[in-house]
Structure 1
Amino acid sequence: MHIDERSRYLKEMGITEWSVRSTANDSAPTAESQHAIPNQEPKVYWLFYGQAPGGDQERLFQNMILALGLLPKEWEWRSPTNTQTPNTHLPCVAFAFGEQAAQVLSGEQEPLTQLRDVVLEIAGQDIPLIASFDLAHCLNRPKDKALVWQDLLLARSVLQSL
C-alpha cells in the first residue's frame, strides 16, 4: 500500500497519523523562555489535581505545561481535597490526574476507564473536569502518555468553548 493511500485511509477513519521527527536541531523550550513575556496577562486558568509530583513525575508535568503553552499565572496544582472555588474571573477548567482524584472531585464512583473522555464537573461547582491517568502511570506505561495528551487537548477544547 502506498504511503499516500495509507494516509488517506487513516484520515477517513479519523485516526491521527503520528510521525517521528528529528530533534537534533530543534531547541526545546525552557522554563526561562516561557517567561519571556513578563507583562502578558493570563487568558485562561487551569486547576491540576492529584498526588503532588516529584522527580520524573515533576519533569513530565512541567513538559506538559510547556507543551500546552501555559504561563505560570494560568495554572495551579491542588490536592483533590481542595475544592475551594478559584478566585479568578478567567475561564477555568480542572484536570484530575488519577482515578482517586477524579472520583473525589466529581463524586462519581466509576473506574477511571469510564470517567475518561467525558466532560465531568467538580461536584457542587460549575467547573468542567477532565479525568486522566496519574503521572506515575504514564511513567510506568509510556504509551499511555498519548492518551493523557488527548485528555489535555479535550480540556483545552472545553476551555476554549467557555
Structure 2
Amino acid sequence: MLKEIGIEIFWPQGARELPAEEAPVLLNALDEPPPPVRARAPAPVPRESAPVRPQPLVARERTGGVGDMGWDALQAAVAACQACKLCEGRHNTVFGVGPQQADWLVIGEAPGENEDLQGEPFVGQAGKLLDNMLRALGLDRRENVYIANVLKCRPPGNRNPEPEEIAQCEPFLRRQVELVQPKIILAMGRFAVQSLLQTTEPIGRLRGRVHRYNDVPLVVTYHPAYLLRNLPDKAKAWSDLVLARSVLQGRG
C-alpha cells in the first residue's frame, strides 16, 4: 500500500566490524625475527537490522502520487495519513460519502465530534438540516450527492482549522473533485469557502455569485451548524441552493 501512494522506505544496512587478528610469528633464537605477517581482516559479518517504522506522510511525498490515485488508493492514503498533528487525536478519518460520480458536490469545513466517531461527514443535527435542505431539491447523499470536507480529521475541540492542516489535506480534496466530476460545487461555511477560493472575503460578500474551483462552478452558502444558531439566514441559504440548481440546469 505504501508503494501504491508513492512512498519509498529505506531499511538501514548495518555491519559489525570484527577486530583483525594478527597471525602468529615464530621466532628463531639464532636468527633475526622475520617481519610480522599481516593477516587479512575477516569479512564484515552482517548484523540483522531492526525494521524502521515509516515516517509520517508529508505533502511533498504524496503530491506527485495523489493525482493518479483511484478511489480505493485515495481512501487508503487518507486513512494512513499522518502529515499533521490532527492524526494524534482522531478516532476515524472522514473521507466522504455518496456515489463516486455525482452532479452535486457538497464541501464542508472539518469533522466534528459525531463525524469523528462515525467516520462520515455531516452527521448529527447539522447533518439532519443539510439532508432536509438537499431533500427539498430532490437530492439525497446516498444517491446523487457526494459530500466531503476540506479536512479529513477533526480539530481538537472543534477549533478552527489551521492553514498548515488545510494545505496538507488539499491534494486529497482536489483529487476527490477530479474523481467525482461534479457539475456544481456547494461550499458550506467560511473556512471551506475561503480555502477553496483562496480568499479572505466573508461569505456575505461572496454569496449570490458563481465562482469556480478546478473549472467547476461553485456556489457559496452558510454552514448548517451556523444556520441552527441563526435561523433567519435559512432563507438566504435556500436562495443559495436555488442558485446552484439554476447553474446546474444552465439557467444561472
Matched position secondary structure for 1:54:
coil
Q: Does 1:87 align with 2:179?
A: yes
Equivalent residue in structure 2 for 1:119, among 210, 218, 223: 210
Name the structure 2 match of 1:158: 247
Give the distance between the partners of 2:178 and 2:129, measured in 1 at CA: 25
Matched position secondary structure for 1:83:
helix
TM-score of the pair, normalised by structure 2: 0.43
Name the structure 2 match of 1:136: 225
Name the structure 2 match of 1:77: 147
Q: How does 1:1-162 map to 2 (within 5 A)?
A: 45-51=103-109, 52-71=121-140, 72-80=142-150, 81=170, 82-84=173-175, 85-87=177-179, 92-122=183-213, 125-161=214-250
Equivalenced residue count is 117
Unmatched 5+ stretches in structure 2: 1-101, 110-120, 151-169
TM-score of the pair, normalised by structure 1: 0.65
CA offsets 1:91-146 (integer angstroms, 9 cap, x no match): 61000111110111112221111111111111xx1101111111111000111111
Give the distance between the partners of 2:234 and 2:183, measured in 1 at CA: 23
- What is the one-letter code of the residue matched to 2:217? P
Matched position secondary structure for 2:139:
coil
Asked if 1 retains the 8 angstrom alpha-carbon contact of 2:146 and 2:180, the reply is no
Task: Note the C-alpha offset of 1:79.
Answer: 1.3
Task: Note the C-alpha offset of 1:54.
Answer: 2.6
Structure with greater Cα Rg: 2
Q: 4+ runs of 1 displaced by more than 6 Å?
A: none
Task: Note the C-alpha offset of 1:88.
Answer: 5.0
Distance 1:54 1:88, change over 3 A: closer
Structure 1 vs Structure 2: percent identity of aligned residues? 34
